[in-house]
Structure 1
Amino acid sequence: MYFAAICRDKPGALQLRLDTRPAHVEHLNALNANGVLKIAGPLLAEDGKPFGSLLIFECADLAEAKAVAAADPYAKAGLFETVEITPWNWTFNPPEAR
Structure 2
Amino acid sequence: MYFAIVAIDRPGASDVRTKTRPAHREYLSAPNPGVAYRLGGPLLAPDGTTMIGSLLVIEAQDLSTAERFAANDPYRKADLFAEVSVRPWDWGTGNPDKR
- What's the TM-score, normalizing by structure 2? 0.92
Deviation at 1:31, TM superposition (A): 4.8
Q: Does the aligned pair in 1 maintain the 2:42–2:52 contact within 8 Å?
A: yes
**1:52-87 CA distances to partner (integer Å, 9 max, x unpaired)?**
000001000000000000110000000000001100
- Sequence identity, in percent? 48
Counterpart of 2:42 in structure 1 is 42
Q: Go from structure 1 to structure 2 and tell me whether the alpha carbon gap of 1:90 and 1:57 turns closer, same or farther (over 3 Å shift).
A: same
- What's the TM-score, normalizing by structure 1? 0.93
Give the SS at the match of 1:85: strand
Deviation >4 Å, runs of 4+:
none
Deviation at 1:94, TM superposition (A): 1.0
Deviation at 1:97, TM superposition (A): 2.6
Give the whole-Å Cα distance in 1 for the aligned partners of 2:40 and 2:31: 11
Give the whole-Å Cα distance in 2 for the aligned partners of 1:59 and 1:65: 6
Number of residue pairs the alignment of both structures matches: 97
Give the SS at the match of 2:19: helix
Counterpart of 1:89 in structure 2 is 90
**1:13-32 CA distances to partner (integer Å, 9 max, x unpaired)?**
00100000010010011158
Q: Does the aligned pair in 1 maintain the 2:2–2:58 contact within 8 Å?
A: yes
Counterpart of 1:25 in structure 2 is 25
The runs of 5 or more residues in structure 2 that have no matched partner are: none
Q: Go from structure 1 to structure 2 and tell me whether the alpha carbon gap of 1:85 and 1:35 turns closer, same or farther (over 3 Å shift).
A: closer
Q: Does the aligned pair in 1 maintain the 2:3–2:89 contact within 8 Å?
A: yes
Aligned residue identity for 2:17: R
Deviation at 1:46, TM superposition (A): 1.6
Over the aligned positions, Cα root-mean-square deviation in angstroms equals 1.6
Counterpart of 2:81 in structure 1 is 80
